[in-house]
Every structure is written in C-alpha cells, then in structure tokens.
Chain A
Amino acid sequence: GAVVSQHPSRVICKSGTSVKIECRSLDFQATTMFWYRQFPKKSLMLMATSNEGSKATYEQGVEKDKFLINHASLTLSTLTVTSAHPEDSSFYICSATLVGEQFFGPGTRLTVL
C-alpha cells in the first residue's frame, strides 16, 4: 500500500515556542491530506483538511491561527503548532488519500513543557 511518513516522530518543546510537523506521501501524490489529533484513551479527532495549493479547511473548535497548515506540494503538508502550551501536548497523525482510501502516517508525539 501507499506510504505516509511524518517527521519528527517525537518532539519536546518549551511553552511559547512553535513546532513544525511534516507529513509526506512517499510514493504517491496527494491533493488532500488530513490532520488528526489523538488524545489518550480517545479517538482520533479530525483537526483540518489540507488541500494542495489552497487554504486548509478547519474543523469546528480548531484554532486556525494556532495550528497553521501548509500544503505546498502534492507530497508534503506541514502542521505548525504556534506558541505551544502544555495543553497542546498530544499525538498528531496525518493521512493522505489515494483512490478514495486514507493512508496514515506513524504519528508525532508532541510534549510541551
């Protein structure tokens, strides 16, 4: 199947700093990528839909100024958590669509101190 990678796999940062997470589709082009957040013992919550060459579509309750998404190419979407706070600590997962099926990245564990 198609492969989606994320970088970094883990990141620890200080409160107030910004963190960028990359999502790449390695062997296919993806016009649409999705960013999810997974809380402990809870489901994956869709944060936003990233569209190549246009603005991302954010879900209700997700701050677009805090979670900046850039989908600059058909193989790369980035999520930047700006001015991170401890409550932003979470597991962030991206996925990319190929022929109607979503393939998921391995996730990024963000810890904000």
Chain B
Amino acid sequence: AQSVSQHNHHVILSEAASLELGCNYSYGGTVNLFWYVQYPGQHLQLLLKYFSGDPLVKGIKGFEAEFIKSKFSFNLRKPSVQWSDTAEYFCAVKGGYGNKLVFGAGTILRVKS
C-alpha cells in the first residue's frame, strides 16, 4: 500500500528564515503529488500540486516544491517564511492501487515574529 512520510512533526522558525519540509512516498509508479495547508481553525487548502512536466512546482503564497523521482521525494520550500505561515502542512500522494489520496502525518510549522 502507498505510504507517505513527513520527516518532522514540529518545526519552529523565526520570520525570514528559509523553510524546507520533507516528504517521501513509497509507490514506484506514476503519482500525483500534493501539499495542503491547514491554518488554525480553517479547512485544508491546496498549496500546490504536481501531475507531470516541470518537477519544480510553484504554488500560492511563495511556496514551491520539487519532485525528485529517484528519491521518491516531494519537498516543500519557501525562501523566507512569515508569521502568517504558521499552520499545519500535509503532503499527499495519489497513485497505485485504488488511486486514493494518501496523506502524510503532517508537519506543524510555527513561525515566531
């Protein structure tokens, strides 16, 4: 079965620091990859997605992610975080048997102002 792992459950950064959140998945075939964000008290929102083409994907609010097929990874990055980026971030992968969306455990990001 498809599995998704996110490397850190909690990350604390100061404003203007750079961010990289790791995500690895297990399925070796064709996948669709997603990063979702959940701000406090709000529902999950799509940050960015990769289906095919350029492996460097740009999303909303200055976020980007890079798909590295050989490493089964889809890490999320932002050069300079803001206090408003405080949220929980979920990596999700669709592919393999059943073609269902499988989520990682999430990473809680807290940005100190």
Contacts and interface: CB of A to CB of B under 8 A. Distances in A.
Interface of A: 1, 4, 34, 41-44, 46, 49, 93, 95, 101-107
Contact of B101 (A4, A42, A102): A102
A104 B43 contact: yes
Interface residues of B, number: 17
Interface stretch (B62-70, B75-83, B103-111): B103-111
B105 A46 contact: no
Interface string B13-55: 0000000000000000000000010000011111001000000
Interface in B80-113: 90, 100-106
Given A101-B49, A102-B101, A43 B44 contact: no
A103 B45 CA distance: 7
A93 B44 contact: yes
Contacts of A106: 42-43
A1 B46 contact: yes
Which 10 residue pairs of A and B lie closest in terms of their CB atoms, listed nearest first?
A: A104-B44, A106-B43, A43-B103, A43-B105, A44-B103, A104-B43, A46-B100, A42-B105, A43-B104, A105-B43
Contact of B90 (A44, A95, A103): A44
Contacts of B4: 43
Nearest to B51: A100
A93 B92 CA distance: 15
Contact of A107 (B43, B100, B101, B106): B43
Contacts of A105: 43
A33 B9 CA distance: 28
B99 to A, nearest CB: 11
22 contacts: A1-B46, A4-B43, A34-B101, A42-B105, A42-B106, A43-B4, A43-B90, A43-B104, A43-B105, A43-B106, A44-B90, A46-B101, A46-B102, A49-B100, A93-B43, A93-B44, A101-B49, A102-B101, A103-B46, A104-B36, A105-B43, A106-B42
